[in-house]
Amino acid sequence: MPKPFIAFLRVLRCIPLIVAVALLGLCASVESSRADLHYQSNMEARCRPANPTTHSILRWKHPDACGNDCFVWRLVCSNGRHHDLQSKFSPASTQAQIAFYDWAPWSFLIYLLPFLAYFGLAALGAQRLELLLLLDGLVLTYATMAAWCFYDAVTGNPWGTTVAVERAVFLNPYVYFPVIGLAVVLNLPAIWRGFETLFYRHRPEIVGPPAMWPGYPPHAAAMSAALMPHLYEFIDPRETASHYRRETDRVRALKEKFDAQAALAEAIIRRERLRHQFNDQTGRSV
């Protein structure tokens, strides 16, 4: 196998890990990213020389009916003073949220693209496609809902009927990351088989006798063991090449043994024929 192709396979083996890390870090949490608030610098300027401590929303207007005063909120400083401020976005919005909000709908596409690529590759190698599609469909729906809640929290109603559920289920990093991580792990076997389907080079000209005969399950097991690739074939393709070379040498040795036995059998047949001819001519046995 050429060395460039081996290096290419090694790079491909890193793609699932890269995609998995990207999936786990795509959606930040509103509750866990307060150190990077969009209005952080404004809060610090208002409270200087003290530091901002807490902020709470007093009033909210729908974005269609307001300008830059959609949110009226109170900032409390460490020296006990407080300031009533107005803003277009929620004071709890982070820099990542504002960027996600401003770049929509392209931010949604960039966010969902790794999910679609990862789950699509897993579908190629799925042994139980219906079950895997159901699982990945639920996870993709969950991830889309998390992205929408992340987007809507920027200008949405902070006292909505579903806000508590959104923060507890979709914007909670202790729920979001385990769900996505579990989906990534459950799809890994199908991902390996998907890579084997796309990049493992099979020889279409190989034709052999049927290995599955009715009533002989060991033949089916032997065929499955022969056709299914092992993990080391992806870890080090050179080991696979040496394995096949050893198998080729073993088959050649068996062929030489069978040829020698065939030659011996032919020699015995010729000797018996000559003996019978000699007996017929002399009328006596030797």
* Domain layout of the chain by residue ranges: 3-31+96-199, 39-88, 232-282
Stated as kind and residue range, the H or E segment containing 251 is helix 237-282
- What's residue 284's pLDDT? 57
In this model, does residue 31 exceed pLDDT 70? no
Structure tokens belonging to residue 105: 């709908």
Residue 88 CA to residue 70 CA, distance in Å, equals 5
More confident residue, 145 or 202: 145
Lowest mean pLDDT among 24-33, 129-138, 207-216, 251-260: 24-33
Q: Hey, which bits of the chain come out as E strands? A: 52-60, 71-77, 82-87
**129: β partners:** none
Look over the chain and give the mean of its residue pLDDT values, rounded to a whole number.
Answer: 79
For residues 255, 256, 258 and 262, what is the CA-based torsion angle, rounded to 10 degrees? 130
Backbone angles phi, psi at 236, to 5 degrees: -145, 95
Neighbours of 240 (CB within 10 A): 17
The tens digit of pLDDT for each residue in 160-185 reads 899 999 999 999 999 999 999 899 88
Instruction: Give the model's pLDDT for residue 249.
Output: 85
Give the whole-angstrom CA distance, residue 24 versus residue 190.
19
DSSP H or E run through 272:
helix 237-282
Asked if 124 contacts 193 with a C-beta cutoff of 8 angstroms, the reply is yes
More confident residue, 143 or 196: 143
Residues 6+ apart with CB under 8 A from 40: 52
Task: Give the rounded percent of residues in the chain with a pLDDT score beyond 90.
Answer: 40
pLDDT band at 154 (very low <50, low <70, confident <90, very high): very high
The whole-number average pLDDT for the span 14-37 is 53
Q: What pLDDT is stored for residue 224 in this prediction?
A: 60
pLDDT score for 228: 60
Q: Report the pLDDT averaged over residues 8-22.
A: 56
pTM of the model: 0.59
Instruction: Report the C-alpha gap between 286 and 279 in whole angstroms.
Output: 7
pLDDT for residue 282: 80
- For residue 278, count other CB atoms closer than 10 A to its CB: 12
Q: Average of pLDDT values for 42-63?
A: 91
- Mean pLDDT, residues 143-172: 92
Assigned token pair, 266: 């032919």
